[in-house]
Amino acid sequence: MRQIVLDTETTGLSAEGGDRIIEIGCVELLARKLTGNNKHFYLNPERDSHEDALKVHGISNEFLRDKPKFSAVADELMEYLAGAEIIIHNAAFDVAFLNKELELSGKPAFKTYVGPVTDTLMMAKEMYPGKRNSLDALCDRLGVDNSSRTLHGALLDAELLADVYINLTRGQDALLIDMADSDSMGGIVTRVDLTAFTLPVLLANDKEAAEHEEVLKQLDKASGGKTVWRISTSAAVA
């Protein structure tokens, strides 16, 4: 399925309270690869940004005065997003704003245009319980270079989130090294067969075992006692 990583910037925090979208950034992924077929809009929100919001995105009210209104780009945006899986960090926030903008434009709700919506914040909370899971924190944790992110920007943040998403969802297949795709690139695919190696078994020392136990306790607390490791161990003993 075609995937679109989406981010917005807004005049404030409340779509129902009258805040509006001022910027939309979209990055396309096909087969988990960036295509360069992106979309980016600055929008006239017909109101000023709150002072706190200005500190976050740095987009002045004056800059937005001559930009198109959401209704003017709605058809182009929805056609671009049509049928795709939408990937958003803290999806409830952005979807609420998109729904309000579509409502004000006399159009159906966001979900009627797109495929499933994937929330990377929820994914990160499940993978890293009890840790900070902001976009910046995930970039640091997953080795994504966010040095150019001095202020929030919808397109830049969508590009960073695309890299974060790819890292969050990279499974054991990453151990197979593909030098090229033989069908699409005309090259030869080279794979490393790990079964050919005898891998040493390194047992945890007392300190490492204690640290592991502490992590399991934190997972127990976050999951309400449903830590898979403990459940699997109990089943094996039984």
Mean pLDDT confidence for 53-81: 96
Would you call 193 helix, strand, or coil by DSSP? coil
* Residue 237, both tokens: 């003993």
pLDDT confidence band for 188 (50 / 70 / 90): low
Question: Residue 176 has what pLDDT?
Answer: 45
Listed range (23-27, 45-49, 52-56, 196-200) with the worst mean pLDDT: 196-200
Question: Residue 63 has what pLDDT?
Answer: 96
69: DSSP letter: P
| pLDDT over threshold 90, residue 153 | no
CA distance 16 to 76: 24
Question: Residue 178 has what pLDDT?
Answer: 46
Cβ(141)–Cβ(164) below 8 Å:
no
Mean pLDDT confidence for 185-199: 57
Residue 127: which residues within 8 A CB-CB, separation 6 or more?
168
Better-predicted residue by pLDDT, 238 or 141: 141
Angle between helices 91-104 and 70-81 (to 10 degrees): 120
Q: Considering the chain, what is the average pLDDT of its residues?
A: 86
Mean pLDDT confidence for 209-215: 84
pLDDT confidence band for 13 (50 / 70 / 90): very high
| pLDDT over threshold 90, residue 1 | no
- If one counts every other C-beta atom within 10 angstroms of the C-beta of residue 136, the result is 15
State the number of CA atoms in the 13 A half-sphere of 209 facing the CB: 5
CA distance 144 to 158: 13
| pLDDT over threshold 70, residue 58 | yes
Would you call 236 helix, strand, or coil by DSSP? helix
CA distance 69 to 43: 5
With the C-alpha atoms ordered 144, 150, 156, 158, is the resulting torsion angle positive or negative?
positive
**Residue written as tokens 């797109």?**
114
Mean pLDDT confidence for 140-151: 84
Question: Residue 190 has what pLDDT?
Answer: 54
With the C-alpha atoms ordered 217, 223, 229, 232, is the resulting torsion angle positive or negative?
positive
Catalytic residue among 40, 50, 89, 152: 152
| pLDDT over threshold 70, residue 179 | no
pLDDT confidence band for 195 (50 / 70 / 90): low
Question: Residue 8 has what pLDDT?
Answer: 97
pLDDT confidence band for 77 (50 / 70 / 90): very high
Question: Residue 230 has what pLDDT?
Answer: 63
Active site residue 152: yes
Better-predicted residue by pLDDT, 108 or 149: 108
47 — alpha (psi -120 to 50), left (phi > 0) or beta? Answer: beta
Based on its alpha-carbon atoms, the radius of gyration of the chain, rounded to whole angstroms, reads 22
Question: Residue 235 has what pLDDT?
Answer: 56
- If one counts every other C-beta atom within 10 angstroms of the C-beta of residue 216, the result is 14
Cβ(34)–Cβ(10) below 8 Å:
no
CA distance 51 to 23: 17
Model confidence, pTM: 0.72
